[in-house]
Structure 1
Amino acid sequence: MKKKKTIIYLMCLIYLTLSVSASSLQAQEHPKLILTKAGVEKIRAELGKVPLFDASLAQLKKEVDAEIALDIDTPVPKDYSGGYTHTRHKKNWIVLQNAGLLFQILEDEKYAIYVRDMLLQYAELYPTLPAHPKTRSYARGKLFWQCLNDSNWLVYVSQAYDCIYDWLSKKERKNLEKNLFRPFADWISVKNPQFYNRVHNHSTWGNAAVGMIGLVMGDDELVDRALYGLKDAPLNTGEKDDDGGFIYAEDGKAGFLANLDEPFSPDGYYTEGPYYQRYAMYPFLIFAEGLENVKPELKIFEYKNGVLLKAVHALLNLSDADGEFFPLNDGQKGMSIYTSSLVSAVDIAYHYGGNNPQLLSIAQEQGKVLLDDSGLAVAMGIRDGLAVPFEKKSINLSDGSMGEQGGVGILRYGNEDLTLVFKYAAQGLSHGHYDKLSYSFFEKGDEVLQDYGLSRFVNIEQKGGGNYLKENKTWAKQTIAHNTLVQNKTSHFKGIYETASKHHSELYFFDASKSEVQVVSAKESNAYPGTEMHRTMALIKEDGFEKPFLLDILKVTSDSIHQYDLPFYFMGQVIQTNFEYKAPETVEPLGNTFGYQHLWTEGVGNASGENTKFSWMNKRRFYTLTTTTTAADEIRFVRIGANDPEFNLRRDAGLLLQRKDVQHTTFVSVIESHGSYSPVSEFAVNSKSSIAAVKILHDDDRYTAIEIASIDGGKHLFILSNSDAAKTSKHKLNINGNDYSWSGPHYFN
């Protein structure tokens, strides 16, 4: 009996040993990071049957073959962004990743040989490199002038290494990991904690880089370092990073999971703004895909109620009719959903997020897919006719990790015929601007009233090494650069980052339940201590108007007297005004600080009545601003470009309304889009405003009532409850002997 038990015990032990060994062997199979063994087999089986995937593969093969025909070049680093060595190493990471994919899919060893030979060159070069010779960055890399770009390199190259891992000899793997990958991961993390151990898009790239090479190498310590950050690193260095933000890891929050927890709101909005959300989505999603494949027990796509998948949808909603991202905070205009990081985001979100058919229509527009499991799933869905249009509707996206730090409200009418982007968000880390309650306005994909964006020529070496220019701080971030209120010619929070980072605006209400009258309203009480700004913006479609018009009510209450400046940065050419103005013989800057030093005055006049009207034309459409004014109001035509000898700023125009020596005041403006002009027929259609007058009929702490009279005799009344935004509250107001009753925060008729 005892012998029988011993035999059974030994058999169980052998079985468990074999099971563990099999499990361990399975875990070490490559590729496993982005491509998987099963995925590769499926891809090979479907080649020639999935048009979009086949086209993407053919294009990639053409590009990689062209690179292979050239000599491998891994130059000694010396340049900033845009310089040869920077650009070459950047090109190398892309070619390495793609060559690895082609080796797995096509089983052609020439691609594996190319990847191996280049990696071996890097393994010989890397140990000889000191910190990069360019000293501008707060965290220098070795291949690049900043650790950020080194992290970019490792995120991509880890995928290439995964694809040829099993093809390499053990000796080659040992060499690469000892001389290249492990010291590379240590440099961007342990050796540069000020870069790695914080909440910021830079750190996200660093976390993903360390984590992905850790997954490939089977190094659990590196994966933990990626997920949770460095355990004993300093939390506050007192330094500033390359973008001007302070370097810290508040309360020990660091690592990939902290970068999911902190910058993302529950709605998927990323506090740095859509431009950097787009940039960070690649490391967020590509590392998440690797974690899902190698460590599915983490359930990374379910983390924080699926915030990564929500973030993709939020980002798509933060684009205009042409797919270009709204330039909130630091944002380069023209960046769009067609960038490679959004191709990745859409494919991964579709594959791991329930196969939403709306995402397929975005992928169709992008015209390419990833050459991995997710890209194949998308291409097959398109082939099978599953795509439906992606609907961008009016949406309110909260900001802050708990959704309690303001947000961004987007009002859309029709098929993005007109779109309002209203920002009442938190500061947005180091990429934030001092622009509380600012807005921009679009017709289709064209700016009507613009947000300036950033001051930088990205990767153009001749312009400051392709990095942020000093004018980004002196102009683009300053309040006067935005369509919002400036008090006493001083930026919000006096332009002090630490102060601004402690505060955010508060949503008053958002109502897009009726397409004909959509309203967003928010309050700001910290930008200027002792002053509260309450801004309400409504997109209204009403009879008597060709298109919807934008109503803007900005109510200011203060404990003392101030000068208030309200700019309108219009795009296009002046057509007509209803006020007289003089153009100065010599132009001078409007001020000395807070961005005013960058504004020329090109014309000065005074309001001629209760309404000031200004019309302009852009992209063959006419626009008219009608704003309530007083006789003392000064109107200035301004143009960006003063104190800019290197021409780093665009020479864009604006109209500035200045109201001096007042304590409480309310600015009310209506912006219309109307008519068109044909240079072929030379006909101007409906080139004049439909508004006869805009009047403030009532204005106190409880209610503000605005009358909009059209030239056809119609009158429309908008009433705002200033102190009670509850949907169920009942209101009653008598105006000029007429009683008005309604429920909710606003009334329109």
Structure 2
Amino acid sequence: MNKKKTNTYLMCLLILTLSISTSSIQAQEHPKLILTKAGVEKIRAELGKVPLFDASLEQLKKEVDAEIALGIDTPVPKDYSGGYTHARHKKNWIVLQKAGVLFQILEDEEYAIYVRDMLLQYAELYPTLPAHPKTRSYARGKLFWQCLNDSNWLVYVSQAYDCVYDFLTKKERKNLEENLFRPFADWISVKNPQFYNRVHNHSTWGNAAVGMIGLVMGDDELVDRALYGLKNAPVNTGEKDNDGGFIYSEDGKAGFLANLDEPFSPDGYYTEGPYYQRYAMYPFLIFAEGLENVKPELKILEYKDGVLLKAVNALLNLSDADGEFFPLNDGQKGMSIYTSSLVSAVDIAYHHGGNNPQLLSIAKEQGKVLLDDSGLAVAIGLRDGEATPFEKKSINLSDGPKGEQGGVGILRYGNEDLTLVFKYAAQGLSHGHYDKLSYSFFEKGDEVLQDYGLSRFVNIEQKGGGNYLKENKSWAKQTIAHNTLVQNETSHFKGKYEIGSKHHSELYFFDESQSEVQVVSAKESNAYPGTEMHRTIALIKGYGFEKPFLLDILKVNSDSTNQYDLPFYFMGQVIQTNFEYKTPKELYPLGKKHGYQHLWMEGLGKASEDNSKFSWMNERRFYTLTTITTTADEMRFVRIGANDPEFNLRRDAGLILRRKDTQHTTFVSVLESHGSYSPVSEFAVNSKSNIASVNMVHDGTKYTALAIEDLRGEKHLFILSNKDASNSSKHKLNINGNDYSWSGPYYFK
């Protein structure tokens, strides 16, 4: 066979192979994506026998019936988030998906007709639409102001299309695919590579949308485009705006698999933080489930050592005692495990991850399940009494694709009575904050020392169209907005993404092996060139104390003399201080930039003792911060809200310890939770600090030692090895004539 004939033969073989592959997908019965033919039959057989599934079905039916009664509306798009057209198209995608499910389960054609008629209206509308008239986004959609929301729509609507696929005529399917679905997929991918071809939660939604409609249509090209990204698309590694800068992986990879490789650590931590991990888990897991059902040979849930299933566990551990996610990076407070994306995550992880009975207890709290194969499995497990409590313990979650870019350490005591969240992670892509070695502290789900979170009123149109506000950059991302060190009133990495994205903090050690003493420690040497910060935080149950106390040691070494600010953003009402302060007659901003312009100066005092004490009350509990100080230290009460004429920021309070003209220094604080107050009995119980003194008895290059004495004269000694964190290393230190010997990075007695 000559070369020309050989090439012709190979080309024909390739075409035949692709044809067989495509036709084999097309030949599969519908539904096949999330609901499956076998799964639907099992669901129908179990109806009336599985209480949580039946209740979820009844609730969903009420919602969809009410929408059908209102009629179909597919308005010409014109609004930002929160506006009518935005909200209506968003509601449509939800109702379409649910109506498709009801058609399959109840076999009632009214739901299929509703889905068909609305999809045909969209097929008539879509070809007439230009890019959305609102121009704020870096990637405008057609139905919505950004491609992200268009992708949301297609992820859900692809499921509806799968459910009614066989109900539709060939002519109707041809119309929908040629005039709606294929052009829709092309718009959010080929026409907007800056949105689609990168590593970011936005792109994950885009990848899932294109891939899921490709699976339903039997289009291998779309599925490959989803998995591997666009070929030969331009690569841009800069950041454009808060709604997702052009963030690509360093090697130019894109697509669904790249979004599994890059943002997730081996522990399942998602570098953007739990708020966006929660948001991205739906497209990650729903597309993965679709791939598992249609293309099981890919074994997508085993990819990267099962990282998607690990991510569900990590995300649940990134919530407080009330199930609300810690607001690391850009995160809206109040978002919790009860959101629909976590319902799907828990159900899918249970069904495809070995039926972990602890997940059933989470599903029971959520009170609803998906109306598909995975939801049925969860509901049956609950019905059969297989649930066991989900135990959230102290955990260290690494960051970075290989787990080598810092992380988040969480220390918990008891049944989440007290929880410390210590952030020493990477930048977190465009949603990251400049807050190396910051921490927040919780008691029973209530914030004691807070992380501000984001500055945005999500989907509230009156506030910037429901989008990120300018104060997110000028305040929420800045270092002074967090409980960590600020040098010379300048944010870490000068508040510049291109610098911050190159660096991460380094874990020194994490030890939760002792129930009475848990410690996390990390170092940061790039936030301020020439300055190293080493922060160690311990949660200690000391004898003589009502509750565990928090010990915070922040050691700073610099090659220059600087001004250091260490803020504590407390929640609640000031009760008492042991230092005098004056309140100004007129409020004025603390500074001019890097977030300082948003802080009102409410009080200025000087430390007068070796220990400065500050007590406050929150949620009827008392707290006292005891800090080692010198008479040169300033104590500044501040309140957020300066230079904020539209009241976009919360008016929260803080206390800043300022240390001027200093090169090397160590900040040491102890935070106690103690006592309670009853407004009914009007009794204050144990309202005062139990600490008599906190003294630094040694502070050198190798070791730092703290002595803590309570009011009854009981003493505790904590010694930190500053240079050697090995568990096997042996240490010896003489303090005031007494020798102390131990192994490992710290000593406590």
Q: What TM-score bracket applies, with the shorter chain setting the length?
A: over 0.9
**8 A contact 2:522–2:535 mirrored in 1:** yes
CA shift, 1:588, in A, is 0.4
CA shift, 1:542, in A, is 1.2
Partner Cα separation in structure 1 for residue 540 and residue 521 of structure 2: 14
- Could you tell me which amino acid in structure 2 is paired with residue 534 of structure 1? H
The corresponding residue for 1:549 is: 549
Aligned counterparts, 1:104-253, within 5 A:
104-236=104-236, 240-243=240-243, 245-253=245-253
- Could you tell me which amino acid in structure 1 is paired with residue 357 of structure 2? P
The corresponding residue for 1:480 is: 480
Q: In the alignment, is residue 366 of structure 1 matched against residue 366 of structure 2?
A: yes
**8 A contact 1:197–1:249 mirrored in 2:** no
Partner Cα separation in structure 2 for residue 260 and residue 651 of structure 1: 38
The corresponding residue for 2:47 is: 47
Partner Cα separation in structure 1 for residue 568 and residue 625 of structure 2: 9
Aligned counterparts, 1:274-293, within 5 A:
274-293=274-293
**8 A contact 1:199–1:259 mirrored in 2:** yes
The corresponding residue for 2:408 is: 408
**8 A contact 1:137–1:242 mirrored in 2:** no
CA shift, 1:232, in A, is 1.4
Partner Cα separation in structure 2 for residue 293 and residue 661 of structure 1: 64
For the aligned residue pairs, the C-alpha RMSD in angstroms reads: 1.3
**8 A contact 1:82–1:459 mirrored in 2:** yes
The corresponding residue for 1:644 is: 644
Partner Cα separation in structure 2 for residue 194 and residue 22 of structure 1: 29
SS in 1 for 2:719: strand
Q: In the alignment, is residue 433 of structure 1 matched against residue 433 of structure 2?
A: yes
The corresponding residue for 1:448 is: 448
SS in 1 for 2:543: coil
Partner Cα separation in structure 2 for residue 22 and residue 706 of structure 1: 69
**8 A contact 1:620–1:677 mirrored in 2:** yes
CA shift, 1:650, in A, is 0.2
- Could you tell me which amino acid in structure 2 is paired with residue 710 of structure 1? D
1:451-499, Cα deviation, whole Å (9 max, x unpaired)? 0000000000000000000000000000000000000000000001000
Partner Cα separation in structure 1 for residue 423 and residue 239 of structure 2: 29
Partner Cα separation in structure 2 for residue 614 and residue 268 of structure 1: 38
The corresponding residue for 2:663 is: 663
SS in 1 for 2:512: strand
Q: In the alignment, is residue 704 of structure 1 matched against residue 704 of structure 2?
A: yes
SS in 2 for 1:250: coil
Q: 1:25 to 1:461 in 2, by over 3 A?
A: closer
**8 A contact 1:236–1:249 mirrored in 2:** no
- Could you tell me which amino acid in structure 1 is paired with residue 713 of structure 2? G
CA shift, 1:28, in A, is 2.4
The corresponding residue for 2:9 is: none
SS in 1 for 2:513: strand
Q: In the alignment, is residue 99 of structure 1 matched against residue 99 of structure 2?
A: yes
The corresponding residue for 2:654 is: 654
The corresponding residue for 1:616 is: 616
Partner Cα separation in structure 1 for residue 28 and residue 552 of structure 2: 60
The corresponding residue for 1:523 is: 523
Q: 1:486 to 1:346 in 2, by over 3 A?
A: same
- Could you tell me which amino acid in structure 1 is paired with residue 259 of structure 2? N
CA shift, 1:24, in A, is 2.9
Partner Cα separation in structure 1 for residue 675 and residue 217 of structure 2: 63
Q: In the alignment, is residue 727 of structure 1 matched against residue 723 of structure 2?
A: no
CA shift, 1:631, in A, is 0.5
CA shift, 1:245, in A, is 3.1
**8 A contact 1:207–1:227 mirrored in 2:** yes
**Number of residue pairs matched by the alignment:** 732
CA shift, 1:237, in A, is 7.5
**8 A contact 2:624–2:671 mirrored in 1:** yes
Q: In the alignment, is residue 398 of structure 1 matched against residue 359 of structure 2?
A: no
SS in 1 for 2:264: coil
CA shift, 1:21, in A, is 11
**8 A contact 1:437–1:524 mirrored in 2:** yes
**8 A contact 2:158–2:213 mirrored in 1:** yes
CA shift, 1:690, in A, is 0.3
The corresponding residue for 2:496 is: 496
The corresponding residue for 2:267 is: 267
SS in 2 for 1:160: helix
- Could you tell me which amino acid in structure 1 is paired with residue 585 of structure 2? E
The corresponding residue for 2:12 is: none
CA shift, 1:280, in A, is 0.1
- Could you tell me which amino acid in structure 1 is paired with residue 254 of structure 2? A
1:157-176, Cα deviation, whole Å (9 max, x unpaired)? 00000000011000000000
The corresponding residue for 2:299 is: 299
- Could you tell me which amino acid in structure 2 is paired with residue 40 of structure 1? V
1:402-455, Cα deviation, whole Å (9 max, x unpaired)? 000000000000000000000000000000000000000000110000000000
- Could you tell me which amino acid in structure 1 is paired with residue 76 of structure 2? V
**8 A contact 1:245–1:497 mirrored in 2:** no
Q: 1:666 to 1:239 in 2, by over 3 A?
A: closer
1:359-413, Cα deviation, whole Å (9 max, x unpaired)? 0000000000000000000000000000000000000000000000000000000
The corresponding residue for 2:254 is: 254
1:175-207, Cα deviation, whole Å (9 max, x unpaired)? 000000000000000000000000000000000
Q: 1:564 to 1:710 in 2, by over 3 A?
A: same
**8 A contact 1:424–1:436 mirrored in 2:** yes
SS in 1 for 2:251: helix
SS in 2 for 1:513: coil
SS in 2 for 1:387: coil
**8 A contact 1:34–1:290 mirrored in 2:** yes
The corresponding residue for 1:539 is: 539
Partner Cα separation in structure 1 for residue 419 and residue 228 of structure 2: 40
CA shift, 1:249, in A, is 4.6
% identical aligned pairs: 89
**8 A contact 2:690–2:710 mirrored in 1:** yes
CA shift, 1:515, in A, is 1.1
Partner Cα separation in structure 2 for residue 242 and residue 532 of structure 1: 29
Partner Cα separation in structure 2 for residue 690 and residue 24 of structure 1: 72
Partner Cα separation in structure 1 for residue 648 and residue 22 of structure 2: 61
TM-score, normalising length: structure 1? 0.97
**8 A contact 2:239–2:430 mirrored in 1:** no
1:535-572, Cα deviation, whole Å (9 max, x unpaired)? 00000001110000000000000001000000000000
Q: 1:22 to 1:519 in 2, by over 3 A?
A: closer
Partner Cα separation in structure 2 for residue 675 and residue 237 of structure 1: 52
CA shift, 1:503, in A, is 0.1
Partner Cα separation in structure 1 for residue 742 and residue 115 of structure 2: 70
The corresponding residue for 2:72 is: 72
SS in 2 for 1:236: coil
1:665-704, Cα deviation, whole Å (9 max, x unpaired)? 0000000000000000000000000000000000011000
**8 A contact 1:399–1:405 mirrored in 2:** yes
CA shift, 1:252, in A, is 1.9
Runs of 4+ more than 2 Å apart: 20-28, 241-250
- Could you tell me which amino acid in structure 1 is paired with residue 110 of structure 2? K
TM-score, normalising length: structure 2? 0.97
The corresponding residue for 1:6 is: none
CA shift, 1:71, in A, is 1.5
CA shift, 1:238, in A, is 5.2
